[in-house]
Structure 1
């Protein structure tokens, strides 16, 4: 069990729908528990209050909250992808009803922002050769969904 886990506050009463969507998107994922309102609860009896779910070994809590708080890109979920196929998988799934931002960022249909990035990119951007790192940064800044082969070509000066 992790000591710290994100709690995602959903405004529209769609925490369970969102948790099910995320569980269907990630390969190693599951719903762990669903908390429902009881006689003494704040919502009608049986209504979902929160859903505990797991994505790739990380715990999340989806909470059906009131409308006063909304998601912003100031907090995002970062997905480390080993290949372009993995980037494409997560990008395509999370974009269903969502909107693209830039440089591998997107906001899904529930308002949660995600960064879908190849792990190789971080190494290219931190290369001790500033010319390689700069070429990679410029290529990335021109992309919406990240294209690993194009980033590698930029990095290699091709």
Structure 2
């Protein structure tokens, strides 16, 4: 059993959101769906919680009502192997949502994501501070991160 499981609070769109996420990410599955019964508080038969996995990470989506909403103060960082993966996830997750700067976006459900190429992380761990500062400066000018542009900033003398 996973030690920590993120719970996502939705207002009636938990099942729709889970279908969206599991359609985007490879190695994803819906584990379990629990529906409200006679005692509520939701309407009988509607989804209460959906447990799902994205690439081995378990999440739970809850239809909790309008009391709480998402904030960019919490986000999910997705490490991408190449530009094609960055591009695909950026476009799919931002559809109907909002694109922000520095690889951040908010999907149509209000959940915030950071779409980060692993090459960026590797460059930022370099011991040459001038290189990492150039990469950071280049990244600050972007919405979707572009590995080629980041690499050019890293390699520039």
Which bin holds the TM-score, normalised by the shorter protein? over 0.9
CA distance in 2, matches of 1:53, 1:121: 29
Structure 2-normalised TM-score?
0.97
Is 1:61 the counterpart of 2:65? The answer is no
| Corresponding position of 2:9 | 9
Q: How does 1:106-117 map to 2 (within 5 A)?
A: 106-117=105-116
Q: Which segments of structure 1 move beyond 2 Å, counting only runs of 4 or more?
A: none
More moved, 109-118 vs 90-99: 90-99
1:77 alignment partner in structure 2 = 76
More displaced, 20-29 or 120-129?
120-129
Q: Secondary structure at the match of 2:119?
A: helix
Note the C-alpha offset of 1:40. Answer: 2.2
Task: State the distance in 1 between where 2:85 and 2:43 align.
Answer: 41
For the aligned residue pairs, the C-alpha RMSD in angstroms reads: 1.0
Deviations 1:28-79 (A, max 9, x none): 1011111101112312211110111100100000000121211001000010
d(CA) in 1 for partners of 2:73, 2:2: 23
Deviations 1:102-125 (A, max 9, x none): 100000000000000011211212
How many residues of Structure 1 are paired with residues of Structure 2 in the alignment? 157
Question: Quick one: distance in 2 between partners of 1:151 and 1:120?
Answer: 9
Q: Tell me what 2:31 maps to.
A: 32
**Structure 1 equivalent of residue 103 of structure 2:** 104
Partner of 2:155: 156
Residue 41 of structure 2 corresponds to 42
- Structure 1 unpaired stretches of 5+: none
Q: Deviations over 1:82-118 (max 9, x none)?
A: 1001101110110110111110000000000000001
Which is worse superposed, 108-117 or 123-132?
123-132
Separation in 2, partners of 1:142, 1:81 = 19
